Amino acid sequence: MRYLFLFPIVFLINASLHAQDAKPLPDPRVLIQEVVEHQKQLEKVRENYTYNAQDKTEDLDSNGAVKKTETNESECFFVHGHAICRLVKKDGKPLDEHEEKKETARVQKLVEKAEKTPPDQPLEGQGISISRILGIMDVSNARRIQYRGRTTIVFDFAGRKDAKTSGMAEDASKKIKGTLWVDEADRQIAHLESVFMDNFKIGGGIVASVQKGSNFTFDQAPVNGELWLPTGAEGNVTARILLLKGERQHFVEKVSNYQRFKVETEQQKSVTVPVAAKP
């Protein structure tokens, strides 16, 4: 899975209180702390789940017409807090014997790295955890709206240029702005929309440069009436690779079939995860 956990982000909220329909908004500092604690709990409990991911990536020409489409289907699981996905189909066809062997070796290496990498540090080529990104955003304009039949607290956000960051994913987070939906009853991230407000250079721009206007969305929802888990992501990326002409891509990822696959350990049993409230 290449995208879903690449841009999954929670933000430190310091907005002023507002009111709507005579019901005051919760204290932003208390709200975000509850969201963070819930997310940390989920990052532990999700270790017990597997899921399927379907990715579609479209290469676009300068007019936005599709030049090439690639689809991948993967079976995913977590190791030490890190998402590991095993490719099982490419463009609708199962892997052949040679591809299967290469994929097995790749996944085994990832598992070994994941076992040695702290949960709050990303594996190479992966995004950072939601709880890791705290403090990089300034948030404003809090309001209460209905989203998919549930009451949410919504905030606008923008990356802080003076935020101390470590690693490419955190550095990139300083270049984005957008809007965040928090489910009021469960204190969970329901929806995220973000856009790059400036170019983000990789390797000083020699390796690549993600262009201003590239955008992403991310969704979570209650799964099986229990946990809030990621359900999908979508985005449009324009990038310049190796100082050559720009590349444009549109991607969609859908996640489904979450299943518990092992008995919780004693440590995991002590973790409490909020049950989704009925809207």
Neighbours of 108 (CB within 10 A): 12
d(CA 168, CA 137): 16
Question: How confident is the model over 25-39, as pLDDT tens digits?
Answer: 877 667 777 887 887
More reliable by pLDDT, 97 or 273: 97
pLDDT at 19: 36
pLDDT at 21: 47
Question: How confident is the model over 69-91, as pLDDT tens digits?
Answer: 999 999 999 888 888 999 999 99
- DSSP state string for 119-141: TTSPPTTS---TGGGTTSEEEEE
d(CA 267, CA 41): 11
Rg of the chain, C-alpha, whole Å: 19
- Binning pLDDT at 50, 70 and 90, where does residue 264 land? very low
Is residue 16 within 8 Å of residue 142, measured between CB atoms? yes
Q: How far is CA 277 from CA 91, 149, 224, 247, in A?
A: 38, 12, 12, 43
Highest mean pLDDT among 127-131, 170-174, 199-203: 170-174
Question: How confident is the model over 154-173, as pLDDT tens digits?
Answer: 988 888 888 777 777 778 88
On the question of pLDDT at 17 being above 60, the answer is: no
Mean pLDDT of 226-234: 88
pTM for this one? 0.78
pLDDT at 158: 87
The mean predicted confidence, pLDDT, of the chain is 78
Percentage of the chain modeled with pLDDT above 90: 36
- Binning pLDDT at 50, 70 and 90, where does residue 129 land? low
Is residue 197 within 8 Å of residue 172, measured between CB atoms? no
- Binning pLDDT at 50, 70 and 90, where does residue 204 land? low
